[in-house]
């Protein structure tokens, strides 16, 4: 079958998923009747037409979320919210085939990758469900005369705007909404315009789980909708994942009412291979660290620093692994590399590859052309490997968000830590060594929110994830994540 034929055959599997806005527990068209069309990036064919929310729709959603927050939702007990989240986790599990299909069709990730969320997405919801009854304040003995009673109360922040990117659409909804609900907040989800469909299904599953009207609202739309959420005077917090540039816009737009912000932004992660590393494990890991999801991962290991003594052998091994990667139809279970999310992203990545060549890096695999005619209509870019990359080259400094690996050579371990840290980003970092002393000494010196030693890209609901520097602030996952949706009130009673 051609890509277009498998695509057409798959459409029946998502035909009944929602296409309207979810506001106040009801499905509705946009206030101005506007719609948008999402494109399947593997074929370039239209996938679905759906309502396109604008500022007026965000205003309606914020009103609904505020009413719900001040209404019965605030009276729910921790166990009520826990039960709802557990029901939601079960529903996510039961509907996972549709969720995976939606994300693969909408943003092009291989079906094996989206299917992997069958376990991780419900696990994430259950993790937050488990935390709900543990949230608590403390009692304090103050030293002021009269010995008043003082307790801290942990209260939900209020109405939360969640703005998400396209690279992991359904997971982002869970990552934003589950801790917000656990804390007792209400939420307006604004998914990325390139891949909004699974967020609407998430909204439907929340309703089925018994989440009351107005507590979870889903308003797909363009940047305008996100901008309105960020500046809206009645939104108390924004939780955002996306580019650093948009994060900076959101900081400015949110200043009016000093919203609480959590920002998960871009990255340019250093992945360091010392010459005592287990090369059998490290070389495939180095390739997958950057080529998974076609490089559309914020913490992709895009700057690969290889120690002198093993440099040439390691490059050969990475190239050999790269050559095994199968690019093609995202719905084929054999496919490891799907298309980029759209033609705009493809053009951006191709421009970076051209810049790498122009600045003198050596291209050893991939490049700007995809030879397979069957993939010509999609936004495919082959896994691309550059060697001879210098720290000052554009491809070594800027986030590309595509399948482009820059290999850099080093000979001194202090020097490589300095070079790894000389980035304006600080999201992830990797280190491979069999020397436990080096693992401790060097791992601690890397300035990044996550440092993986002898592994890469592992995630767990209990482990915090987030960035230093331009990679943002706040942490997702982990015990403290729910606390980002809580205020602390000191209650004095005499």
Residue 323 class from Cβ within 10 Å (0-12 exposed, 13-18 middle, 19+ buried)?
exposed
Binding status of residue 269 toward ligand NAD by CB under 6 A? no
Find the residue with minimal CB distance to ligand NAD.
226
Total site size for ligand NAD, rule CB under 6 A: 30
Which window, 138-146, 207-215, 262-270, 286-294, contacts ligand NAD (CB under 6 A)?
Answer: 262-270
SS3 213: coil
Beta pairing class for 149-156 and 139-140: antiparallel
455 labelled catalytic: no
Least CB distance to ligand NAD at residue 482 (A) = 17
CA dist., res. 268 & res. 444, Å (int) = 18
Span 377-436, contacts to ligand NAD by CB under 6 A: 399, 401, 427
Within 329-358, the residues that bind ligand NAD by CB under 6 A are none
- Binding status of residue 265 toward ligand NAD by CB under 6 A: yes
Residue pair 212/161 in contact (Cβ under 8 Å)? The answer is: no
CB of 145 to ligand NAD, least distance (A): 49
Identity of the residue, 240 or 432, whose beta carbon is nearer to ligand NAD in the bound complex: 240
Task: Work out the angle at residue 167's Cα, subtended by the Cα atoms of residues 267 and 359, and round it to the nearest 5 degrees.
Answer: 45
The yes or no reply on residue 50 touching ligand NAD (CB under 6 A) is no
41 is a site residue for ligand NAD (CB under 6 A): no
In the DSSP assignment, the letter for residue 373 is G
User: Is 267 one of the binding residues for ligand NAD (CB under 6 A)?
Assistant: yes
Check binding of 364 to ligand NAD (CB under 6 A): no
Query: Does residue number 468 form part of the binding site for ligand NAD (CB under 6 A)?
Result: no
Q: Which of 192, 219, 361, 396 binds ligand NAD (CB under 6 A)?
A: 192
Note whether 361 binds ligand NAD by CB under 6 A. Answer: no
Return the closest-CA partner of residue 346 out of 293, 405, 406, 403: 403
Active site residue 224: no
Q: Is 425 helix (H, G, I), strand (E, B) or coil?
A: strand
Q: Cβ closer to ligand NAD: 117 or 267?
A: 267
Shortest reach from residue 240's CB to ligand NAD, in Å: 7
Q: Which one from 298, 307, 476, 484 is the annotated catalytic residue?
A: 298
Calpha distance 118→49 (Å, rounded) = 26
DSSP line for 9-48: HHGGGGTTS--SEEETTEEE--TT--EEEEE-TTT--EEE
Looking at residues 283 to 312 of the shown chain, list those that interact with ligand NAD (rule: CB under 6 A): 298
Distance of CA 432 to the CA centre of its chain: 25
Angle subtended at Cα 262 by Cα 258 and Cα 268, rounded to the nearest 5 degrees: 130
Helices (H), 73-116: 78-94, 96-107, 111-115
Least distance between ligand NAD and beta carbon 194 (Å): 7
Hey, is 108 helix, strand or coil? coil
Contacts of 392 (CB under 8 A, 6+ apart): none
For ligand NAD, give the closer residue by CB, 132 or 219: 219
Q: Residue 408 Cβ, how far from ligand NAD at the closest point, in Å?
A: 20
Q: Which of 264, 307, 399, 476 is catalytic?
A: 264
Interface with ligand NAD by CB under 6 A: which residues?
Answer: 163-167, 190, 192-193, 222-223, 226-227, 230, 241-243, 246, 249-250, 264-267, 298, 399, 401, 427, 467, 471-472
Catalytic residues: 264, 298
């Amino acid at each position: 079958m051609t890509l277009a034929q498998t695509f057409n055959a798959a459409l029946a599997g998502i035909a009944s998923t929602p296409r309207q806005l979810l506001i106040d527990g009801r499905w509705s068209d946009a206030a101005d009747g506007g719609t948008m069309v999402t494109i399947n990036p593997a074929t370039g064919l239209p996938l679905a037409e759906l309502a396109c929310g604008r500022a007026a729709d965000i205003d309606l959603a914020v009103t609904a979320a505020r009413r719900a927050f001040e209404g019965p939702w605030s009276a729910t007990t921790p166990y009520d919210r826990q039960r709802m989240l557990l029901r939601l986790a079960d529903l996510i599990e039961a509907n996972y085939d549709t969720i995976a299909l939606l994300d693969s069709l909408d943003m092009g990730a291989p079906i094996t990758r989206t299917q992997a969320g069958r376990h991780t997405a419900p696990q994430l919801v259950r993790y937050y469900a488990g935390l709900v009854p543990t949230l608590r304040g403390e009692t304090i003995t103050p030293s002021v005369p009269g010995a008043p009673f003082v307790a801290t109360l942990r209260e939900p922040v209020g109405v939360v705007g969640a703005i998400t990117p396209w690279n992991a659409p359904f997971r982002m909804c869970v990552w934003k909404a589950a801790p917000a609900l656990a804390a007792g907040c209400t939420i307006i989800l604004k998914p990325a315009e390139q891949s909004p469909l699974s967020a609407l299904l998430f909204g439907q599953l929340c309703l089925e789980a018994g989440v009351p009207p107005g507590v979870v609202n889903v308003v797909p739309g363009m940047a305008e909708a996100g901008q309105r959420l960020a500046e809206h005077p009645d939104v108390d917090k924004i939780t955002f994942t996306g580019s650093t540039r948009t994060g900076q816009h959101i900081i400015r737009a949110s200043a009016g009412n000093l919203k609480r912000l959590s920002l998960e932004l871009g990255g340019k992660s250093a992945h360091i291979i010392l010459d005592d590393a287990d090369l059998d494990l490290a070389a495939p890991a180095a390739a997958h660290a950057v080529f998974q999801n076609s490089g559309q991962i914020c913490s992709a290991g895009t700057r690969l620093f290889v120690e002198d003594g093993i440099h040439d052998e390691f490059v050969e091994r990475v190239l050999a692994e790269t050559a095994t990667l199968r690019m093609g139809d995202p719905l084929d279970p054999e496919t490891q590399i799907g298309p980029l999310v759209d033609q705009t992203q493809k053009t951006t990545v191709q421009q970076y590859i051209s810049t790498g060549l122009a600045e003198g890096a050596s291209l050893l695999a991939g490049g700007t052309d995809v030879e397979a005619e069957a993939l010509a209509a999609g936004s495919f870019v082959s896994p691309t490997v550059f060697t001879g990359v210098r720290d000052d080259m554009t491809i070594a400094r800027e986030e590309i968000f595509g399948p482009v690996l820059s290999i850099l050579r080093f000979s001194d371990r202090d020097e490589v830590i300095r070079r790894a840290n000389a980035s304006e980003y600080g999201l992830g970092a990797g280190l491979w060594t069999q020397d436990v002393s080096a693992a401790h000494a060097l791992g601690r010196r890397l300035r990044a929110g996550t440092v993986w030693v002898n592994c890469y890209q592992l995630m767990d609901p209990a482990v915090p994830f987030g960035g230093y520097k331009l990679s943002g602030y706040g942490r997702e996952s982990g015990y403290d994540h729910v606390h980002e949706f809580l205020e602390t009130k000191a209650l004095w009673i005499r």
